[in-house]
Structure formats: structure tokens, C-alpha cells
Amino acid sequence: MKGGRNLYIGLVHYPVYNRRREISATAVTNLDIHDLARCARTFDLPGFFVVTPLESQIQLVQRLVRHWLEGEGAIYNPTRKEALSLIQLSRSIEEAEQRIFHLWKKRPKRMVTGASPSPSAIDYEEARRLLKDQETPYFLLFGTGWGLIQELKDHSDYLLAPIEGKGYNHLSVRTAAAIILDRLLGDRKEKKGEEDGSIGDG
Amino acid sequence: MKGGRNLYIGLVHYPVYNRRREISATAVTNLDIHDLARCARTFDLPGFFVVTPLESQIQLVQRLVRHWLEGEGAIYNPTRKEALSLIQLSRSIEEAEQRIFHLWKKRPKRMVTGASPSPSAIDYEEARRLLKDQETPYFLLFGTGWGLIQELKDHSDYLLAPIEGKGYNHLSVRTAAAIILDRLLGDRKEKKGEEDGSIGDG
């Protein structure tokens, strides 16, 4: 697979909804960060932003990353180091977008995900097609807690269709993100002759 | 989506390899169980077997399941209950297969997963096609630790191709299982006219 060299992902801990649909900040989860970093490396993404404004959480992630990049973890498990080196911390979505802009000299297109259907959502085929424009950076956001707030969805370039389960839309953010990345960038070589080949390597 | 009413999954904690490629038993991880149960429910699977011969681990899973099915968890989060009710405990792969046999009066076809490529592996298109035979039960195995032992792979009906990452095959079992289930059963409606429609619901 060619991978998503123009696709950045962000795991958003604020602003998201809590259980009571209030705007809140969630705590960082070690496993989310590991799992998403490993997915990011698998699909050859250029960066994975952990978005949180909370100083305590920032320090926690810094400690985690240091352990695997420079500490004992780096010796114990070099493949984890490879994945976690993709992590960047940012205090807001906008700060992450600023950094992408700085690298690309182009504003990244913001693509948000969620579990609810919406008439304005684009499907995976369309999103795959968009990502083939390698001149444009994309920033794909995953919400923790009870999901990204509505205002964020309203201020995005694209809203991605939810993963349709049979009357059940309660995947963890880890597994949902993995499925979404595979749908966007995964090898489609099994679909012989149906794909133009610019992503799958055949 | 129609879902995989003939596809059972098993999360195998023994026999798997450890770090030194010795045959061993791993500890059960709460999050693996939650994530895979939620995936199983999303794809409408009939059952999710947690395979472990260790009495301590069996009790741990029983306690976990009870909490979400009958305890406070059931009130706090009914959707989790719905997912975790798919869990069955079995002391061995064979015991799980016996139970599937008992229900179907037919031996389930065993399909194993792994991170290494193999010339005998089948691709996802072929596996999707196999699963459409709704008269035959399938048992899809995921290994914890450093993966399912070779002997298991040698004694299976099918070995599924690994998820091809760009020179990186170190996904967590949670995210790998999610991607694999989506490839096998996920809605393919985005591929208009390319699928026969027996799995995707359009």
C-alpha cells in the first residue's frame, strides 16, 4: 500500500461531549494512544496529533512517549518506538492545523468522524478519492468520550459517514479509527480491476 | 449489513507464543474483551469466545461479564450489556468448536489470523465469499501475545492473509480484529455495482 502521506489524524480530548452531552475534556488513555500510533504507522501516516488542553494530560503523554522513545521501552520494543514517534501533542485542533499548514503551506482540509448518520456525510469511496489528491493535506479527527461536538462538525470541510453496524453504533474509538483508516487507505488489491491502483500496490 | 450470523470469533489466550516464541498462556485484558464484544455486536456475530484454560482468568472474565450483564454496569451502560452478552468462555479452542458443532450439527470451519504472510493464506475476497455460505459455521481465531502457534495454523481449514502495512505489522489484536471483521463483513455499499449485495444492504 502507498499509505496516507497527506493524511494526519487527531485524537481529540477536547472539545467532546460527556455522557450528559455537555462539552468537556476527557482523560488521555494509554491504550488509545498506543493503538492509534500503531495504526498510523501501519497506514504510513505522517503524523498523529493527541489533542488536549490539560497540562496534566500533556505531561502524561510526554512521559509515555519518552518511555517508548528514549527509555526502557525503546529497548524492550523498538517497533513500538517506531509507531510512537509519530505522536505530536497539541493543545487544540487549531494548533495542530497550524503546524500542518506550516509544513504544507496549505490549510489542511478538516474531516470529522462520528457515530451518527447525517445527510451531509460523505461515504468512504468519496473520501478515498479525495485523499488521492496528494497535494492537499487532510486532518481526520476522532472524538473520545461521547464524541466530537456538533459545532466542530458544522465547521469542518467533510463529515465522514459512520460505520454502519446492525442497529449498533458503539465501537471504541480505537477500533472505529482502525476500521476507518483501513477503509480510507487499506489495500484493496482483493478487488481486482475495480480500483485504479493509485493506493493499493496490487 | 446482513452481518455474520455464521461467523464466531475466538480470542485465544492459549496456546500462543510469548516474546521468546515459547508456547504460553497470556493474561486476559479487559479492553480486548470489551472492544471485541463491541465489534462482534456491530457485525452481528452470533458469539465471541474468550479462550483460556487458566482458572484465575476464567473467574476474572466471569466477574467482568456479570458486572455488565447483571451488576451496576448493566444500568450504567445498556449498550455494553448488549455487546458483552455475546461472550462465551471456553477452556480450549476445541471446547468452543464442540459448542458450535452442538448448535449447528456441523463442524465449524476454523479460520486463523496472523501477522506473517504465507503462500497458503486466502485473501479477504475469498474469505468474504466463503462466509456467504450461511449453512456452514466458521470460527475465526485471533491470537493474543505474540500470536497463534504454528501448529494451530497447520491444523486449520483456512489461514487468512495478514493486514499489509507499509513494512509494519504490529497492530494490536483489538484493532487488527476490527479491521479484519470489517473486511469480511463490513458494508460495501460504497462499491456500487461491484458486489453482489448479499452482504451489504445497499
Count of CB contacts below 8 A, A vs B? 132
Q: Per-residue pLDDT tens for B91-121?
A: 999 999 999 999 999 999 999 999 999 999 9
Picking from A42, A175, A187, the nearest residue to B35 by CB comes out as A175
Reported pTM: 0.91
> Distance, in angstroms, between B85 CA and closest chain A CA?
14
The distance between the two most distant Cα atoms of chain B, rounded to a whole number of Å, is 51
Q: Supply A97's cell numbers.
A: 492545523
What phi, psi does A140 have (nearest 5°)?
A: -100, 120
Residue A156, min C-alpha distance to chain B (Å): 22
Write out pLDDT tens, residues B119-161.
999 999 999 999 999 999 999 999 999 999 999 999 999 999 9
Band of residue B167 on the pLDDT scale cut at 50, 70, 90: confident
Dist. CA A30–CA A99, nearest whole Å: 24
* Nearest C-alpha in B relative to A176: B178
CB contact under 8 A, B31 and A31: yes
Contact residues, B window 69-88, toward A, CB-based 8 Å cutoff: 79-80, 82-83
Question: Which chain A residues are closer than 8 Å to B35 by Cβ?
Answer: 171-172, 174-175
Residue with the bigger pLDDT between B1 and A11: it is A11
* Interchain CB contact of A34 with B (< 8 Å): yes
Of A109, A167, A174, residue with least CA distance to A143? A174
State how beta strands A16-17 and B16-17 pair.
unpaired
Q: Please, what is the average pLDDT of chain B? A: 91
pLDDT of residue A74: 86
Side chain identity at A16, as an amino acid letter? V
pLDDT tens per residue across span B34-69:
999 999 999 999 999 999 999 999 999 999 999 999
Chain A residues near residue B123 by CB distance under 8 angstroms: 189-190
User: Does the CB of B196 have a partner CB in chain A at under 8 Å?
Assistant: no
- For residues A152 and A131, give the distance between their C-alpha atoms in angstroms, rounded to a whole number: 21
pLDDT at site B196: 38
Phi, psi values for residue A32, rounded to 5°:
-60, -45
pLDDT of the residue at A72: 86
pLDDT of residue B53: 97
- Residues B26, B181: Cα–Cα separation, whole Å: 23
- A48, A99 in Cβ contact below 8 A? no
Q: Which residue do the cell numbers 457515530 mark? A: A115
The Cα–Cα gap between B51 and B14 comes to 7
The pLDDT score that the predictor gives to residue A187 is: 83
Of B3, B125, B169, the CB nearest to A191: B125
The answer to whether A202 contacts chain B (CB < 8 Å) is no
The tens-digit pLDDT sequence of chain A (202 residues) is 456 899 999 999 999 999 999 999 999 999 999 999 999 999 999 999 999 999 999 999 999 999 999 988 888 888 999 999 999 999 999 999 999 999 999 999 999 999 999 999 999 999 999 999 999 999 999 999 999 999 999 999 999 999 988 888 899 999 999 999 999 999 876 444 344 333 333 2
> In a mutagenesis test of the B interface, which of A42, A188, A191 is the best target, namely the one with the most B β-carbons within 10 Å?
A42
Reading the block at residue B44, the C-alpha cell is 452481528
ipTM for the predicted complex comes to 0.91
